[in-house]
Structure 1
């Protein structure tokens, strides 16, 4: 770890804290200052998907939501196994929150970790790369924040109560159908309540060659109740959400039966999230308090449907809080606070020979203190600097590795500087560190691999340089980055004749070098952009490959394009395009390259009768291209086969909704 950037960040943070105090002591007026605004738009790789984009794409899963964003790939084929890769690293490295509730659980390395239902998403915000101290604990490769809609987002200005009914369908293979019902209302002045329910039934899909891909069918259900209050200086949200996803797949749901011995299994995943967010903003420059308290429980069960025996199961729950305040001075914003999370795990696996069947109970906790300052020290300069301190501890209470304990602590500084060189051109440089101590690993592997009490926490370093040129609706933005993740924790296999199947160990350093570039133009009712991104990921000097589950994989240089046309307030038309260049597959010397592919989506959305009626149509993968997404497990050296599922072929989608 570099010493100089840490010293700079510590010194800068201390200086920023002293300056406003000394100004106040001198009697300088610090009561009429506005919030500092950064002129430049978000650089490529850092995006904010809003509700209009979700509605236009008629998103049914993570791939629909994220695949056309810079720096992101979504692989897996089937919905249950879709994994998100940011700059080539798997989402296990991200700090993911839903309405402020952290989602730390990784249940099973063969399936998705991030469970999100798109229908009532208000926004998805991604900050790629280790960054601000406010990103939360363990944000090695960045933070993704999901916010859901509330009653006031749904009500029209003249309404006190309303309802939404919506039906959608995707026509491909055995097709998929979704039904949505929501009721919402104003209980009193400033108090709103919304209840929603979503049911989606998806059949096996067809690939670009017209072949049926099975087993990929799923049954997805989601319910949420959200109470929102807006009262003068106080505002709050209380949300309770339940997701349930079931289906029949092979024991490894992202793989075909390539060995001829995999059994069909009944899979079930659930997530329950309760979060309370409160803000107190009395209009004072010194006080703007935000508090979040949350409970999150994720659970999976994989049961062989021929015998009824459990293959693997696990339940991970988390309870936590985040308390922060923002103080503002003439040219400075300072956010400071604390956060805490306690995780618990109860997991079982019976996938190995019976002698190695196991279970485990573990608990972990992380406590952090943080501060982040933005200082406009000159008209053309913005300095951002911050510092986190996190303390982690993990205890194995029973089962595999019982009695083991790990703990670690570390400071994580960050420093960035933005220079508004002209009215239209800005330059930015940033350095940041992030720390993820020893916490609960994947549930399935935790019942198989033992802790020995000798682990070091993982440490991420991120360096970025970027620019943004914006004038008269035209923009050209770019970022180059380099990141390392030291002391990566992975499972080490031992196996027979040892009585131990394996153990957790620090196994090496992962790194990525890459860039992102985007150019676009916005007119009154038409906008377009074209972007390209590439990440060169490696682990201890070798390229990442599909077998690096939980870490990342190799993804070819990716080009993205989008065109939006809004000729009126009623209509919105869009084109989304993605071209991924071929990439060498280093999983084995004989592995063929991951092939190039192109995906083109056509989208249209109409809002009629004062937004009461919504109609949407679209064609996904218009060219009916047969391909394997580079985020999908592809070639298996032992069998010489592509064992992941190919991507869906051409799909026609249609949606109709009515607001009462």
Structure 2
């Protein structure tokens, strides 16, 4: 990153923040009809707004109604997000075609790290534990965390105070469901309570089923659900302070195909695979903050493990595939304080992260066990302001130092500056235009470090290996009038210098620039007992100016995507019904066929649900969902498509799947 490109935006950021601080006696403007959401990108009522600039919010109400079994179903109503198909561990989300490793992904504030191998995701996110999700697309705030190249994804899990009814001090929840088409049995059990200053929450969840069939009745091997998870939290509040200790565990353990995001040669061979994650976090917050003292401090440790034994293939006397044993251990923390001023807030703090990677080469391929390490420490400041003249502003910067020690004990160190700014202007009641930009320094990106398991001892780090950078630009219109809202966002995201394991060159090097540009449109209308919403996204995804291929990598082509959803309450029957329509346009071109790939066919998928709360048992909820109601044969965008030279076939999504579930609170 050059000073010529950074300093102008940094100067604007500092000038804007200084002006806002001097104007702290101004009152925050109120925008009639604006829907106020949790902080993220556009300022509305003094806070940033995710959906107002093309992002996504999946609320607790959405999760409760849809009862998603995996992240494909979790994001089914949002065209900006695509999910690769198959079993749980293979599912990775892409935002505007950018893979999740390029976003700052956190669960309750704990960073989730990069994807270890593009054929299988590294993190198993179980929707059973989720309270809400926010996806910030594009220009991220400085306090979103280190490495927010293309935005941020924030998963928030449930806790005791989310589930306890007013006046109760303890409770529990039991959930049980059974689904067709391999969905099988899913069960969860939770207990929670409060006593004086203490609160606690504990929950376990498990799912077990069979391989599913696509719409044509073809069975996809290695796709059976096999998740296990646990979540525990203990909090204590005293004299205005709160301390919370949390533990999160997730595991997927079953026989899987060797490359889970493709159907390789129509093979039915499966092998044991275990993907697991353990996380401990300790968090401190203030229960009764003041204008000048609203702190947050957190420490966390986590371990991700990927274990695939008992598999090897040899070609010409040399192993070409084999066992895989990956592990990453993380220690990090955060300290920040938010200052409330007359015109808004300023958040300032420091964060750090140290990650050790272990990669065990398969078979007798030298050099055996490899180790890498990355370290990061950064300071940040982010201001969010709203003024009486209709102008709202979010701007900030962060300074980071990044260290990388590779498997040959080569050490690299560098520093960089990241800056961001988003401004909006309310030109008429409920209508505002906005523009945002960011220039983000990403440090040394290790990419898909699992690829090292197949490299010999001659593989090295490029002598000219450099830190990666990202640029984001967004402009658009946001509107809110009475019971409807709308948003139009044009986006342009560039990622430069990401880590790439170049087999031909025999080194970890910097990849050419990835870019995603396009438009996303959102709208919703509510009428008290119901709502309807829709979204449309078109993204042109390229590398070094050329259209990217659907090869499961860092970025994926998505083309045109759209969703439509409806929810309707029927109070006389204590019933809520609804549905979601997912559409993807055809993705074709010479660039696909010349490389051996087939065109992506268009598809339309209809999902429906019903939720019934018996009148005499207000603690009981019955759920019924039918996913892919019309039994469409399709594969989700950001999945592989047929690749004839290597006998690769698409990994199709499930055909019609009906699920009946029961939840009881006690």
1:445 counterpart (442, 451, 456): 451
Q: TM-score, normalised by structure 1?
A: 0.91
Residues 1:456 and 1:5: Cα distance change in structure 2 (over 3 Å)? closer
Q: Which residue is 1:183 aligned to?
A: 191
1:269 positional shift: 0.5
> Residue 321 of structure 1: SS of its match in structure 2?
strand
CA distance in 1, matches of 2:377, 2:618: 46
Residues 1:388 and 1:151: Cα distance change in structure 2 (over 3 Å)? same
CA distance in 2, matches of 1:601, 1:630: 17
Residues 1:509 and 1:82: Cα distance change in structure 2 (over 3 Å)? same
| Residue 384 of structure 1 pairs with residue 394 of structure 2 | yes
Residues 1:153 and 1:7: Cα distance change in structure 2 (over 3 Å)? same
Matches within 5 A, 1:311-330: 311-330=323-342
CA distance in 2, matches of 1:358, 1:259: 31
Matches within 5 A, 1:381-530: 381-396=391-406, 401-447=407-453, 448=455, 449-494=459-504, 502-530=506-534
| Residue 146 of structure 1 pairs with residue 155 of structure 2 | yes
Residues 1:607 and 1:450: Cα distance change in structure 2 (over 3 Å)? farther
Matches within 5 A, 1:240-251: 240-251=247-258
Matches within 5 A, 1:238-637: 238-258=245-265, 264-280=270-286, 282-304=288-310, 311-350=323-362, 354-356=364-366, 358-396=368-406, 401-447=407-453, 448=455, 449-494=459-504, 502-547=506-551, 549-568=552-571, 570-584=574-588, 586-589=591-594, 590-608=596-614, 609=616, 611-637=618-644
CA distance in 2, matches of 1:567, 1:324: 46
1:46 counterpart (55, 63, 69): 55
1:22 positional shift: 6.1
List gaps (5 residues or longer) in structure 1.
496-501
CA distance in 2, matches of 1:4, 1:492: 30
1:220 counterpart (223, 227, 231): 227
1:253 positional shift: 2.1
1:23 positional shift: 7.4
2:446–2:499 Cα contact (<8 Å) kept: no
Q: Which residue is 2:11 aligned to?
A: 11
CA distance in 1, matches of 2:10, 2:225: 50
1:40–1:426 Cα contact (<8 Å) kept: no
CA distance in 2, matches of 1:119, 1:349: 35
Cα deviation, 1:405-451, whole Å, max 9, x if unaligned, reads 22222101111110011112111001112221114443422343532
CA distance in 2, matches of 1:524, 1:219: 39
2:142 counterpart (125, 129, 133): 133
1:4 positional shift: 7.4
CA distance in 1, matches of 2:331, 2:307: 22
CA distance in 2, matches of 1:382, 1:44: 13
Matches within 5 A, 1:80-91: 80-91=89-100
Cα deviation, 1:71-105, whole Å, max 9, x if unaligned, reads 10011222221121110111111111111111114
1:362–1:440 Cα contact (<8 Å) kept: no
1:37 positional shift: 2.5
Matches within 5 A, 1:151-190: 151-172=160-181, 174-186=182-194, 188-190=195-197
CA distance in 1, matches of 2:101, 2:150: 9
CA distance in 2, matches of 1:318, 1:526: 44
CA distance in 2, matches of 1:393, 1:10: 24
1:518 positional shift: 1.7
Cα deviation, 1:328-368, whole Å, max 9, x if unaligned, reads 221131111110000011111317xx445633112210001
CA distance in 2, matches of 1:135, 1:41: 12
> Residue 55 of structure 1: SS of its match in structure 2?
helix
Residues 1:40 and 1:471: Cα distance change in structure 2 (over 3 Å)? farther
CA distance in 1, matches of 2:391, 2:16: 15
Q: TM-score, normalised by structure 2?
A: 0.90
Q: Which residue is 1:122 aligned to?
A: 131
1:575–1:600 Cα contact (<8 Å) kept: yes
CA distance in 2, matches of 1:610, 1:9: 58
Q: Which residue is 2:317 aligned to?
A: none
CA distance in 1, matches of 2:11, 2:399: 15
List gaps (5 residues or longer) in structure 2.
31-43, 314-320
Cα deviation, 1:586-611, whole Å, max 9, x if unaligned, reads 34415321000011100111234564
1:281–1:289 Cα contact (<8 Å) kept: no
1:63 counterpart (72, 86, 91): 72
1:231 positional shift: 4.4
Residues 1:283 and 1:438: Cα distance change in structure 2 (over 3 Å)? closer
1:483 positional shift: 1.3
2:326–2:450 Cα contact (<8 Å) kept: yes
1:218–1:248 Cα contact (<8 Å) kept: no
Q: Which residue is 1:498 aligned to?
A: none
2:122–2:306 Cα contact (<8 Å) kept: no
Cα deviation, 1:93-151, whole Å, max 9, x if unaligned, reads 11111111111142222112332111121111110113211111001111111111111
